[in-house]
Amino acid sequence: MQPSIEARLLKLRAALSEAEMYLGPSLGRSDTEALQGLARSKLGTALPDSYLDFLSRHDGLVVEGVFLYSSIPRSYTDGGSAPSLVEMNLLARDLGFMDSYVELGESDMDCYVFDSRTGRYQVRDRVAFDNVYEEFVSFDGLLSHILDLIEQRC
C-alpha cells in the first residue's frame, strides 16, 4: 500500500471514534495464506496480492456506510455481524454472472470488485451491475477512490 494512502487511512482512524469507524487488525502471513487457499477452493480464483497486502495491514474497514470485507466474520458491539469476504462472494455468486469477479466491498450505491478476466479493480453499480463507474489498474487506486468517498461523508 502506498504510504500516502496509508497516511490518509490512519488520519481518518485518528479523527473518528471506534463507533464511527472500524479498521481491522493486521492479518498474519499464515492467515493470508489460509484465506488465499479458501478463496481458491471456494471461489475458484486467487485473491489479488495487493488486496491481501491491505488485509495484512487492516483486516477490513467499515466507515460511513462503506465496507471493505474482512477475512473472517466480524461481530459488532450492538449484536449484529458482518460476513467474511468469502461468504459475501458465495452469496454474490448465487446470481451466476459473478464468477469472474471478486467482490471486495460495497457502499450504499456501489460495489467494489476485482475483475479476474481483466486484472482491473472496478466500482460498479450495486443494482445495474453492468454500469462501471471507475476502473483502476491497482488496489491502491480503488482504495484512494474509496477514501475520497469516505472523506466527503465525514
Amino acid at site 120? R
> Is residue 143 included in any domain, yes or no?
yes
User: What is the C-alpha to C-alpha distance for residues 30 and 140, in angstroms, rounded to an integer?
Assistant: 23
> Is residue 36 included in any domain, yes or no?
yes
> Is residue 134 included in any domain, yes or no?
no
User: What is the C-alpha to C-alpha distance for residues 119 and 136, in angstroms, rounded to an integer?
Assistant: 9
> Is residue 28 included in any domain, yes or no?
yes
- Structure confidence at residue 19 (pLDDT): 84
- Structure confidence at residue 82 (pLDDT): 79
Q: Angle, to 10 degrees, between the axis of helix 49-57 and the axis of helix 29-43?
A: 140
- Structure confidence at residue 70 (pLDDT): 93
- Structure confidence at residue 106 (pLDDT): 94
- Structure confidence at residue 98 (pLDDT): 79
- Structure confidence at residue 114 (pLDDT): 96
> Is residue 131 included in any domain, yes or no?
no
- Structure confidence at residue 58 (pLDDT): 95
CA–centroid distance for 8 within its chain: 16
Its domain, for residue 67, covers 3-73+81-102+139-153
- Structure confidence at residue 83 (pLDDT): 83
pLDDT, mean of each 10-residue run, the chain (154 residues): 93 91 92 95 92 94 92 78 88 79 93 94 92 95 95 87
Sign for the pseudo-dihedral over CA of 126, 127, 129, 135? negative
> Is residue 25 included in any domain, yes or no?
yes
User: What is the C-alpha to C-alpha distance for residues 96 and 116, in angstroms, rounded to an integer?
Assistant: 15
- Structure confidence at residue 34 (pLDDT): 95
pTM, to two decimals: 0.90
Number of domains into which the chain is organized = 1
> Is residue 20 included in any domain, yes or no?
yes
Collect all residues with Cβ–Cβ distance below 8 Å to 83 and sequence separation of at least 6.
69, 73, 91
